[in-house]
């Protein structure tokens, strides 16, 4: 039963995380109306699309106003949860745009087809291909630091952040999963080509995925030689720990773990 729960990640999404929303925007930076990504512009671009395998895939991009776009800049890809969550909702409850503004990194919010990230093999493949295309598209328009590409996710998105990091361990510098357990793909072990660093954040009062699952996930990573930071939030359920400062925790971990040091 536990493995079934681990596969069906985030069925109710982030209901608890929806309280106390802000709109996730800062200042008056320009916003696109959709379509193709332009080059070297700061701002919030909420309705961008790229074609992947013949399918139009949507994403949102935030480019901080204060970042020097002529120099290599980190990129964070943030995967939303299931159900009511989306590329448009996630920036509001996580406030990750504000974190990007403070620390000077690009952040992209891809949109899942059907509202959830892949569990079945065909959908997993399509969603990983979307990740590849997304990083390629943004890197073609901005000077993305190839040693500082990171993934983060919540619930079903946290599951997918684990999976993308495993599948693209030689591309992703580090991963973060908030309330999202490892899936069935790792029953026999994570078995990544590279032992990528990971931060796992979980609410002790999570009733959708018991905190014991997150603890077991952390140990599974450690047994295979991954560097793990495990953060347990004592008074949080299945919700983003905004009030617990998790954004700063995640970014500090990312900033300290480039793909290659030098």
Q: Which CATH architecture has domain 2-10+44-255?
A: 3-Layer(aba) Sandwich (3.40)
> What was the pLDDT predicted at 38?
64
Q: What is the Cα 141 distance to its own chain's centre?
A: 21
pLDDT in tens, 141-165: 999 999 999 999 999 999 999 999 9
Average pLDDT over the chain, rounded to whole? 88
| pLDDT range class, residue 19, cuts 50, 70, 90 | very low
The residues spanned by each domain of the chain are 2-10+44-255
How many residues make up the chain in this entry? 262
Two structure tokens written together for 82? 């299931």
Is the per-residue pLDDT at 24 higher than 70? no
Cβ-proximal residues to 154 (8 Å cutoff; 6+ apart), any chain = 10, 14, 17, 79, 80, 81, 85, 90, 94, 178, 179, 180, 240
- So what's the pLDDT on residue 41? 86
Q: Radius of gyration of the chain from Cα atoms? A: 17
Predicted confidence (pLDDT) per residue in 80-108, tens digit: 999 899 999 999 999 999 999 999 999 99
């Amino acid at each position: 039963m536990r493995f079934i729960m681990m596969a069906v990640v985030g069925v109710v999404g982030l209901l608890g995380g929806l309280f106390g929303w802000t709109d996730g925007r800062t200042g008056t930076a320009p916003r696109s109306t959709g379509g193709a990504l332009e080059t070297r512009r700061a701002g919030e671009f909420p309705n961008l699309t790229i074609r992947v395998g013949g399918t139009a895939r949507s994403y949102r991009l935030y480019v901080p106003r204060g970042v020097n776009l002529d120099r290599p800049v980190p990129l964070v890809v943030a995967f939303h949860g299931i159900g009511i969550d989306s590329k448009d909702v996630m920036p509001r409850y996580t406030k990750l745009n504000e974190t990007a503004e403070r620390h000077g990194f690009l952040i992209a919010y891809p949109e899942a087809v059907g509202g959830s990230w892949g569990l079945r093999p065909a959908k997993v493949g399509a969603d990983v291909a979307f990740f590849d295309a997304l990083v390629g598209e943004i890197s073609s328009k901005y000077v993305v630091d190839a040693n500082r590409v990171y993934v983060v996710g919540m619930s079903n998105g946290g599951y997918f952040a684990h999976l993308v990091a495993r599948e693209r361990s030689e591309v992703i510098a580090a991963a973060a999963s908030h309330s999202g357990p490892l899936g069935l793909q790792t029953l026999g072990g994570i078995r990544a080509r590279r032992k990528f660093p990971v931060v796992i954040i979980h609410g002790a009062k999570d009733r959708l995925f018991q905190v014991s699952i997150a603890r077991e996930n952390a140990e599974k990573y450690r047994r295979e030689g991954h560097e793990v930071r495990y953060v347990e939030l004592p008074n949080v359920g299945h919700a983003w720990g905004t009030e617990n400062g998790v954004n700063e925790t995640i970014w500090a971990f990312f900033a300290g773990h480039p793909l290659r040091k030098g």
